[in-house]
Structure 1
Amino acid sequence: MNEMISGVGEPVVTDATKGGGSNAARIAEVKAWLAAQFDAAGKEVPDFEYTPRSIAHLYNLATVSQAKTQAANIVANDFRQKAAEYRSQAARIREILENVGLAQESLPSNVVASAQVLANVANLLNIRDTELSRWEEKQNGSSFLVAMGDISLRKTGVDEKRAKVHKESKTLLEYTRKAIARLTYLKRTLAQLEDDVAPCDAQMENWKTNLGVMASKERQYMQQYNNYKALLNRVGYTPEINHGVLVEMAEHRKDLEKKTKPILDTLRSYQDLPPDKALAALAIEDKKRQYAAAEKYLEDVLQSALATSD
């Protein structure tokens, strides 16, 4: 039946077919086809304008519809013929069974049930009888065994597919378990991080406050540094006058004070003597020489200290 239906093609109106008949013949054929279709539906054909485009389209539909109707009639006739043959064969088989005493009414119920089960199995296996021709028997054996073998092969294939699917499902289940465990770990980590947000925010605010204080102190210290630097520039400070030089000069100053202290004491004692102009002039000249010698010694010490620092 399928071969008969597929063998009937759907004609398409081409330029060559359009030129085969006149427009009047096509219009008449289209009108007849429309009248037949609407009469079958119990309706009247609506009025519309017959343009070349609509006529070509309707003619194509009519041709296709007639081809399909003809194919359907052929298939229906084939089905009717087969049904008649099956009814005739069923009547003949029923007559034969009644003649040999195997009518369905005279058989036990269990035999009827077994036959019904056998018929259902045959329909399930899509077999027509319990044996084949001799040549087919040599090649394939009975059709029942062939069908059972095919079912067995299908069952084996289904079992293999089931085992494969079971293995894949186990693999997917393992992946799912791992994914769930990883998701649980990530959720726990996220909850811990969310709990740590508030302390971290507080610590960040503290650091931010301290950073602002440190920046303010830095500006203050830089201002003080610039002020001290300007002050040192005003007093003539140079990098050569370092702490070591100042300490050494202080020690020399102490030595000079120790040396000049007796002289100062002597000069103070002279203040108590009666004034003698000649002796006073000699004493003053002597002290001037000692003072000049002390100044020269201090200058030499400073020069040597500066030379050593260089």
Structure 2
Amino acid sequence: MNEMIPGVGEPVVTDATKGGGSNAARIAEVKAWLAAQFDAAGKEVPDFEYTPRSIVHLYNLATVSQAKTQAANIVANDFRQKAAEYRSQAARIREILENVGLAQESLPSNVVASAQVLANVANLLNIRDTELSRWEEKQNGSSFLVAMGDISLRKTGVDEKRAKVHKESKTLLEYTRKAIARLTYLKRTLAQLEDDVAPCDAQMENWKTNLGVMASKERQYTQQYNNYKALLNRVGYTPEINHGVLVEMAEHRKDLEKKTKPILDTLRSYQDLPPDKALAALAIEDKKRQYAAAEKYLEDVLQSALATSD
């Protein structure tokens, strides 16, 4: 078969687009086309069911195949006609050359080789002759020289593009080398960081544990501070009672204890005497006066100490 699948943009025949012709005519045309294609391939048409869908598809294939076959026949006929013209022209030129004694058999081998090289170059340059019309000859010279100049210009352009591409490739190669070096450095850094992950995680867990302990201690110390502050407020502590004042009061207390100790010893000695109510009352009153004087002295010392600290 010349064509099995319709190309893009090819006309497709359907029941809506194909107005003329019945289904029987289409089936007959499809059968004839299939028989012709399989006969050309040396095979028989296989048996299958002719459904409306398959008939439409095969009819479209047949239409496209016939159209392309017709176009190929036209091109082939044109090529055959041109080949016949070229053979006729070659025979005429060969006759002319033989008449003037320039037949290929009578020419030296080097001339034949040069002519063959010239023909190959002409085919490569896609030129048909070595001269242009009179006006073109005045403007550009022979078509061979024009073609050679054109190909020289193309070669120059290709060389320039090649140099540009080479320069760009060198730049890209340099960028690639730098990128590879940077990638290698990043991979090495990544590997080092991955190795440091485990120790850092362990250290972070340790810090986290210590932070929890410190937070717990902070709450404990804060509670103790609040408790001590409430206790100081309850006993009447003020900022004026500092360490120096307390030390001074302790020293005065020691002095008072030294002064009151003989009195207490005397009172204890009185306990061993026989009871005498009148003398005991006098002694008690005397000791009360002494004790009151000592308390007044202690209060005066405290007041003076507080005044000095202010």
Structure 2-normalised TM-score? 0.73
- Change beyond 3 A, Cα 1:274–1:55: closer
Secondary structure of the residue aligned to 1:189 is helix
- Change beyond 3 A, Cα 1:103–1:237: same
Whether contact under 8 Å (2:97, 2:103) holds in the other structure is yes
Whether contact under 8 Å (1:5, 1:72) holds in the other structure is no
1:209-253 Cα distance to aligned partner (Å, 9 max, x none) = 766776786688678768877987998867775434322311322
| Post-superposition offset of 1:64 | 2.7
Aligned to 2:65: 65
- Change beyond 3 A, Cα 1:7–1:38: closer
Whether contact under 8 Å (1:30, 1:59) holds in the other structure is yes
Secondary structure of the residue aligned to 2:17 is helix
1:48-81 Cα distance to aligned partner (Å, 9 max, x none) = 4444444444333333333222222222222122
Whether contact under 8 Å (1:34, 1:45) holds in the other structure is yes
Whether contact under 8 Å (1:8, 1:67) holds in the other structure is no
Secondary structure of the residue aligned to 1:18 is coil
Whether contact under 8 Å (1:249, 1:302) holds in the other structure is yes
1:136-172 Cα distance to aligned partner (Å, 9 max, x none) = 3234432212222321232232123222212222221
| Post-superposition offset of 1:306 | 5.8
Return 208-217 or 143-152, whichever deviates more: 208-217
| Post-superposition offset of 1:127 | 0.7
- Change beyond 3 A, Cα 1:142–1:216: same
Whether contact under 8 Å (2:249, 2:302) holds in the other structure is yes
Whether contact under 8 Å (1:131, 1:137) holds in the other structure is yes
Return 94-103 or 43-52, whichever deviates more: 43-52
| Separation in 2, partners of 1:227, 1:192 | 52
| Separation in 1, partners of 2:274, 2:34 | 169
Whether contact under 8 Å (2:26, 2:59) holds in the other structure is yes
| Separation in 1, partners of 2:49, 2:191 | 77
Structure 2 runs not aligned, ≥5 long: none
Secondary structure of the residue aligned to 1:17 is coil
Secondary structure of the residue aligned to 1:127 is coil
| Post-superposition offset of 1:131 | 1.0
| Separation in 1, partners of 2:9, 2:244 | 119
Aligned to 1:215: 215
| Separation in 2, partners of 1:8, 1:214 | 80
Return 290-299 or 243-252, whichever deviates more: 243-252
Q: Is 2:303 aligned against 1:303?
A: yes
Structure 1-normalised TM-score? 0.73
- Change beyond 3 A, Cα 1:8–1:146: farther
| Post-superposition offset of 1:115 | 1.8
Whether contact under 8 Å (2:13, 2:60) holds in the other structure is yes
Whether contact under 8 Å (1:4, 1:75) holds in the other structure is no
- Change beyond 3 A, Cα 1:229–1:112: same
Aligned to 2:141: 141
Return 40-49 or 61-70, whichever deviates more: 40-49
| Separation in 2, partners of 1:121, 1:205 | 83
| Separation in 2, partners of 1:7, 1:280 | 146
RMSD: 5.3
Whether contact under 8 Å (2:6, 2:60) holds in the other structure is no
| Post-superposition offset of 1:257 | 4.1
| Separation in 2, partners of 1:9, 1:190 | 56
- Change beyond 3 A, Cα 1:11–1:233: closer
1:15-37 Cα distance to aligned partner (Å, 9 max, x none) = 68633334444443333333333
Return 256-265 or 100-109, whichever deviates more: 256-265
- Change beyond 3 A, Cα 1:182–1:155: same
Secondary structure of the residue aligned to 2:3 is helix
Whether contact under 8 Å (2:132, 2:141) holds in the other structure is yes
| Post-superposition offset of 1:258 | 5.4
| Separation in 2, partners of 1:240, 1:157 | 102
- Change beyond 3 A, Cα 1:290–1:125: same
Whether contact under 8 Å (1:10, 1:67) holds in the other structure is no
Whether contact under 8 Å (2:3, 2:64) holds in the other structure is no
1:256-275 Cα distance to aligned partner (Å, 9 max, x none) = 34554676788899999999
Whether contact under 8 Å (1:38, 1:44) holds in the other structure is yes
1:161-185 Cα distance to aligned partner (Å, 9 max, x none) = 2222122222212212322332343
